[in-house]
Amino acid sequence: MGLDTKPLSTLHEKASYDVGDFEVPTGREEEWRFTPLRRLRGLHKGTAEDGGKVLVEVDAAPEVTVETVGRDDPRLGRAYVPADRVSAQAWNSFTEATVVTVPKEAVASAPTVLRLRGEDASAAAYGHTTVVVEPFAEATVVLAHRGSATYADNVEFVVGDGARLSVISLQDWADDAVHVSHQHARLGRDARFVSHNISLGGDVVRISPSVAYAEPGGDAELYGVYFVDGGQHLEHRLLVDHTVPHCRSRVDYRGALQDQDAHAVWIGDVIIRAEAEGTDTYELNRNLVLTDGTRVDSVPNLEILTGEVAGAGHASASGRLDDEHLFYLQARGITFDEARRMVVRGFLGQLVERIEVAEVRDKVREAIEEELDLGAGRR
Amino acid sequence: MATLEIRDLHVSVGDGSDGAKEILRGVDLTVQAGETHAIMGPNGSGKSTLAYAIAGHPKYRVTSGTVTLDGEDVLAMSVDERARAGLFLAMQYPVEVPGVSVSNFLRSAVTAVRGEAPKLREFSKEMKAAMDSLSIDPAFAQRSLNEGFSGGEKKRHEILQLEMLKPKVAVLDETDSGLDVDALKVVSEGVNRFASGETGVLLITHYTRILRYVKPDFVHVFTGGRVVAEGGPELADELENEGYEKYVKAGASL
């Protein structure tokens, strides 16, 4: 099949390791139009001040090796080619990378936790993380982001044949943090990948999780929970590219927003290419708007280039707390504030309870309670 | 002795300007503990509006009249205050609340109404016993509230809440509609259990069918937004045979 017979996707952006291959975004581009570029501190145009630092602390499972390596390590950048200018900037600017390896057939007995802590947001820091799960190995990796930073990074997940990787990325930044990140997963034959993105803190957080399938039988589940407060911009841009037959993907991102200028962006791109027969995909985004003054942009895009799909669908819904829910709970004696908490907890909790690491799950629940405390009694 | 007193209640829907429509046009009703009242009427007579107005649904606006429970002004209370004061509304269409489990919901409601959290073990036992008596599979305790429940399962859960919250006065809004005979029997047994106790029951229904299982002390015929006739159980038999027709005319002429 040549180019003339194969319809091409319009969703897949170009990819390059070279910053110069990407124009400086102006904010009019489809991929940048929701992002407040002025708040990126120059990360998108190469003017960010150098010298920032994000420290990486590791708590690895005994079966897993974690190394800090230099730029020339051959394992870096093999699964992922930067897909936008900030990503290319990060690729060209990091000095040290973290490589996590789960050896063939090893089953990690505990989560491997990478704690990334920023100390200062005034200068930019760049990072790179590569997680390699060799064939038939199984592991859970937690990326916990905290502190103040202006941080751009790329994360690669290479999931081998028959391997299983569960990733929880927790964006629990301080109020002044800016974080622009690409998280790319490449799945081997019958590989299984589960990702949770939990975004709570930071001034601007823009995470772009993407999935590519190298062989048939891959299965990706991408979950996200976010809670956006006044003035915060939390953006998640997903791309699932079905290029081979008989793979599955599920996307479910849910967020709550409260107070003036809380802005959530969710982009869900799914491509089912002509070759990807038997694809089974569904993506969902839901937003619960708790106060006036917030803004949600939710854009699902599904591009189907073959007639032979097992299932393909998407849904997006953003709305206020349902008065009928609140009335029902209140009619059983539960106060308005508690009823509101129960509905929000329930809405986000359906995803939170899927997080396999109890410690992280509890932490996320606590963080949601804190967010709800902030919003209590404000109406 | 708990007493719910409704006096000359007028209720509108809409925003009070020209869009407002008066639905209840002067309802008088007294329900005492241990009494079972049936309110019967055709579709559109305002029966459900009465139920929601008593519970305090924000869509309905009381324009005049009073509702008191043991002398306390119910209309001055918020929805949750009314429930804590001892009023209960079993809804015709219970809403689905995703992610809130039946047991979590029941425990929150019981805690709110009793004023203190029950001990977890005692609560679990109590909930299980109450579910058993309504033939509810215990697995429902972990399911999201009403989500994916059949019509009959939703109604059983309304009665389950009623039995656990032990209100002073319960308003049952067409709890019998949409039930098959078996479910109707189970629900009726539940109603009879608390109707024989300290609870006053206001049973709102379109059909006489449930009155074969639940014996009302009083029957009120409701048309045109008010009570147009009152009597004992024999009135239900008359409605069964003759329908609402003559009362609809009476309601219209008032």
pLDDT tens series, chain A, 379 aa = 344 444 556 666 689 999 999 999 999 999 999 999 999 999 999 999 999 999 999 999 999 999 999 999 999 999 999 999 999 999 999 999 999 999 999 999 999 999 999 999 999 999 999 999 999 999 999 999 999 999 999 999 999 999 999 999 999 999 999 999 999 999 999 999 999 999 999 999 999 999 999 999 999 999 999 999 999 999 999 999 999 999 999 999 999 999 999 999 999 999 999 999 999 999 999 999 999 999 999 999 999 999 899 999 999 999 999 999 999 999 999 999 999 999 999 999 999 999 999 999 999 999 999 999 987 765 4
Q: Does some domain include residue B118?
A: no
Q: Does some domain include residue B112?
A: no
Q: What CATH number is associated with residue B72?
A: 3.40.50.300
* pTM assigned to the model: 0.88
Residue A254 distance to chain B (closest CA, Å)? 13
Nearest CA in chain B to A351: B99
How would you class A336 by CB atoms within 10 Å of its CB: exposed for 0-12, middle for 13-18, buried for 19 or more? middle
Q: Does some domain include residue B110?
A: no
Is the Cβ pair B97, A328 closer than 8 Å? yes
Q: Does some domain include residue B79?
A: yes
Q: Is residue B112 within 8 Å of residue B80, measured between CB atoms?
A: yes
Question: Do the bridges between strand A219-228 and strand A309-320 make them parallel or antiparallel, or are there none, so unpaired?
Answer: unpaired
Q: Does some domain include residue B114?
A: no
Q: What is the pLDDT of residue B145?
A: 96
Q: What is the pLDDT of residue A98?
A: 98
Q: What is the pLDDT of residue B61?
A: 94
Q: Is residue B171 within 8 Å of residue B158, measured between CB atoms?
A: no
Which one of A284, A286, A321, A329 would you mutate to disrupt binding with B, by most B Cβ within 10 Å of its Cβ?
A: A329
Q: Does some domain include residue B116?
A: no
Q: Sign of torsion, CA B129 B135 B137 B142?
A: negative
Looking at every residue in chain B, the average pLDDT score rounds to 91
Residues 6+ apart with CB under 8 A from B245: none
- pLDDT tens digits for A157-179? 999 999 999 999 999 999 999 99
Q: What is the pLDDT of residue B26?
A: 95
- A335 lies within 8 A of chain B by CB: yes
Return the beta strands (E) in B78-225 as ranges: 87-90, 97-101, 144-145, 169-173, 200-205, 218-223
- pLDDT tens digits for B195-213? 877 889 999 998 888 988 9
Q: Does some domain include residue B184?
A: yes
For B239, the token pair is 């409605």
Q: Does some domain include residue B111?
A: no
Q: What is the DSSP string of A315-345?
A: EEEEEEPPHHHHHHHHTTT--HHHHHHHHHH
Considering only CB atoms, B98 lies closest to which of A336, A339, A346, namely: A346
Residues 60-119 (B) with a CB less than 8 A from some CB of A: 78-80, 82-84, 88-89, 91, 94-95, 97-100, 104-105, 108-109, 112-113
Instruction: Give the rounded percent of residues in chain B with a pLDDT score beyond 90.
Output: 73
Number of domains in chain B: 1
Q: For residues A55 and A127, what is the distance between their CA atoms, to the nearest angstrom?
A: 10
Banded pLDDT at B180 (limits 50, 70, 90): confident
Q: Is the pLDDT of residue B165 over 80?
A: yes
- pLDDT tens digits for B112-151? 999 999 999 999 999 999 999 999 999 999 999 999 999 8
Provide the domain limits for residue B74: 3-99+153-253
Among B44, B9, B11, residue whose Cα is nearest residue B29: B9
Phi-psi category of B69—alpha, beta or left, where left has phi over 0 and alpha has psi -120 to 50?
Answer: beta
